[in-house]
Amino acid sequence: MEKIVITGGLGFLGQYTATSLIEKYPQAQVIILARSQRPVFLADIKNHPRLQIEYGIDLLKPETMEAFFANADLVVHGAAMVSFWRKDRKKMLEQNWGGTRVVLDLCKKNAVGKLVYISSTAAIGYSDDKDMPADENLDFDWSKAGKYAYAYSKYLAEQE
């Protein structure tokens, strides 16, 4: 593994993912693609020589990411917008579903070896039966998912 690209790598899970990949693949350059500057809170990677952080990335603008996908062995796509405000529904669908589509297209175009998509348990839906937990076999009616915009956006992204 020579080159690993991570979207959403400055989030909580993303920083742990970056740390793990740096440890597991001692020859790999790990590139985090980020929308804006956020603090790197894990001291293990903060100034790591094999970690590169690129800012100004827009998931809906492939031109901001394409150069980093060239010759990538692995892409970990974890970038997502999380909001529970109705006013953010459209933007969240664009970012989470549309952004995933852009990442997939870039992976195909650049013949990326492997893709790992970080989703959410919300993507399986919700059970109305409080005594029966939801799992992957839940037959959730997504046409009724209006108030669950985040879950719906992650579900749609998984369908890509």
What pLDDT tens digit does each residue of the chain (160 aa) get?
899 999 998 888 998 999 999 999 999 999 999 988 777 666 667 788 999 999 999 999 999 999 999 999 999 999 999 988 889 999 999 999 999 999 999 999 999 999 999 998 888 888 777 787 788 888 887 877 667 888 888 988 999 8
Burial (0-12, 13-18, 19+ Cβ within 10 Å), 144: exposed
For the chain, how far is it from start to end, CA to CA, in angstroms?
25
Tokens at residue 24, please? 């597991």
Overall domain count for the chain? 1
What is the rounded CA–CA span in Å between residue 133 and residue 130?
Answer: 7
Longest Cα–Cα distance of the chain, Å, equals 50
Looking up residue 136, the CATH number of its domain turns out to be: 3.40.50.720
Domain that holds residue 61: 3-159
Q: What is the pLDDT of residue 122?
A: 85
What pLDDT sits at residue 140?
83
3 state SS of 69: helix
Task: List the structure tokens of 125.
Answer: 């839906």
Strand partners, 114: 74
